[in-house]
Amino acid sequence: MTPSSLFLATYTPGDACYEGDAWVYPQMSRYTAEKMRALAEEQGLACEEIDWPHPRQRWVAFSVALSLPPA
């Protein structure tokens, strides 16, 4: 990613995180907000939740850590 890149994604929140490596369908893999931030940090990225209402999913923005715009 370049400093001006922004990657938007959704995830399904849960109390625990999916730890497998297989495709899960039609069930959902769930993750905590802390896990999403940790995954971003492992790649040198920032992760910011976006306030976009959805009944089951949360939106997040991934960006190069030093260039993430305020939410």
User: For the chain, which residues make up each domain, given as ranges?
Assistant: 7-66
Mean pLDDT by 10 residues, the chain (71 residues): 90 93 91 95 92 94 71 55
- pLDDT number for residue 8: 95
- Other CB atoms within 10 Å distance of the CB of residue 15: 6
- pLDDT number for residue 32: 96
Half-sphere exposure of 11 (CA within 13 A, CB side): 24
- 46-64 pLDDT, tens digit per residue, is 999 999 999 999 999 999 8
pTM score, whole prediction: 0.78
Place of tokens 């305020």: 70
